[in-house]
Structure 1
Amino acid sequence: MGEEVKLLGVWGSPFSSRVEIALRLKGVQYEFFEEDLHNKSALLLKSNPVHKKIPVLLHNDKPIAESHVVLEYIDETWKQGFSILPEDPFERAHARFWARFLDEKCLPAIWKACWGSEEPEKAVEEACELLKLLEHELKGNKFFGGEKVGLVDIVGNFIAYWLRAIQEVVGVEILTKEKFPKIYDWSDEFVNVLQEILPRRDKLVAIFRGRFESTTTTTSN
């Protein structure tokens, strides 16, 4: 069956990266289209008229938007080999719960702690409180999905990879080996397994450094 798979995304976006991870782990061939979010393409606006955001997966010209929805679509459409979600209904519901927790609670709190809260110490403390819950949820497993990467791990890519790069630039300490040994080891394992798929770290650091310096300059003027 001839299939055409396109991904509208942005290099370095953890949300685009989630979809790329899923496609690559499934062995699905796809074409990546880089979007300029300051000048969105007609294809993006047509494909996601509600939110006008990336990522959008186009499967035989049919658009699927929102990274969580796209991940589940990929899992249901390409059954071969790797499974993103567990088969058991309870475990699937459990994975969805923690994936939403990551996006609705953890990501906003971490972003706030890293990028200019008026009360930085409080913001870091709040982010750490949420990471404590994740530390407990990992239990003794290598991944949130058990012995292999699953939905929660993929959605948690921001914590596993992006966060440590941002910490290096802005000088905050949220995820450290001392504070969260299980999550820290999980992040190392995540990167080891997926390093060929993830964006280059030095380029990410350079982007974040440029953003941080411009923010600092704007604030100090």
Structure 2
Amino acid sequence: MAGGDGVKLLGYWASPFALRVEWALKLKGVEYEYLEQDLQNKSPLLLQYNPVHKKIPVLVHDGKPLAESLVIIEYIDETWKQFPLLPQDPHEKAKARFWAKFADEKCVPAILGTFTKVGEEKRKAANEARENLKTLESGLEGKRFFGGETIGFVDIAAAWLGCWTRIAGEIVDVKLIDEETMPELCAWLENVLEAPIIKDCMPPQDKLLEHIKGGIHKMLMAAAST
């Protein structure tokens, strides 16, 4: 999209963290310039705007950079008031932050473990992932989205988990979410991944599948050589 209000996003097509920043911008209707980054050959722009972590995503608004995807999404929500992502009630807002952090710190590592571990360790990672996803489901509290009837902060933060859990089923034959044990989370995933703005931004499944397969192969090779 053409840059409006001096907004740029430095991202990488397969990064779920850059993806959720794009979702936030699109839900808000903010025009921005997207700058694809080569993570193997980091650009001077990326090193200039994120000298601490040297990673994407980075949002640049009127020349001022911000890093870390959840921090960026909160900034977007506070800067552009249309289509609020976080609740106004302080308790509900704190709960939303809790569940977004839970998804990142508990669900993500266990899901990744199912890709990179083998045998008994893979089984343990899968069980841990299922337990954490079941706990995440409790945050829905019977609602259509974590944000209620509309997509909100937690939905944006966690939506990509649905895509990656499906890929886990295809690559390593591990089913992490099913309708019998997690009916609410299954329904939520269908709702959030079929939302037009979310769906339209998602990378092609076949391309993402090959990318993740290549990444897993590299990690396994590196582990075998140590």
The TM-score normalised by the length of structure 2 is 0.89
CA 1:218/1:55 → structure 2, altered by over 3 Å: closer, same or farther?
closer
Which residue of structure 2 lines up, in the alignment, with residue 208 of structure 1?
Answer: 212
Q: 1:84 corresponds to which letter in structure 2?
A: L
CA 1:216/1:171 → structure 2, altered by over 3 Å: closer, same or farther?
farther
- CA distances 1:107-166 after superposition (whole Å, capped 9, x unpaired): 111111222256111111111111111122212111111111111111102312222123
Matched, 1:173 2:175: yes
Give the 4+ runs in structure 1 shifted more than 4 A: 212-221
CA contact (8 A) 2:14 2:208 kept: yes
User: Which deviates further from its counterpart, 112-121 or 68-77?
Assistant: 112-121
Distance (whole Å) between structure 1 residues aligned to residue 222 and residue 44 of structure 2: 32
CA 1:117/1:148 → structure 2, altered by over 3 Å: closer, same or farther?
farther
CA 1:55/1:216 → structure 2, altered by over 3 Å: closer, same or farther?
closer
Matched, 1:128 2:130: yes
Structure 1 gaps of 5+ residues are: none
Superposition map of 1:1-221 within 5 A:
3-80=5-82, 82-116=83-117, 119-193=121-195, 194-212=198-216
Alignment length (residue pairs): 219
Could you tell me how far 1:31 is from its partner in structure 2?
1.0
- CA distances 1:9-44 after superposition (whole Å, capped 9, x unpaired): 100210000100000000011111111111111111
Could you tell me how far 1:217 is from its partner in structure 2?
7.3
SS of residue in 2 equivalent to 1:140: coil
CA contact (8 A) 1:14 1:162 kept: no
Structure 2 gaps of 5+ residues are: none
The TM-score normalised by the length of structure 1 is 0.91
Distance (whole Å) between structure 2 residues aligned to residue 153 and residue 17 of structure 1: 13
CA 1:88/1:190 → structure 2, altered by over 3 Å: closer, same or farther?
same
SS of residue in 2 equivalent to 1:167: helix
CA 1:177/1:59 → structure 2, altered by over 3 Å: closer, same or farther?
same
Distance (whole Å) between structure 2 residues aligned to residue 71 and residue 108 of structure 1: 21
Could you tell me how far 1:51 is from its partner in structure 2?
0.9
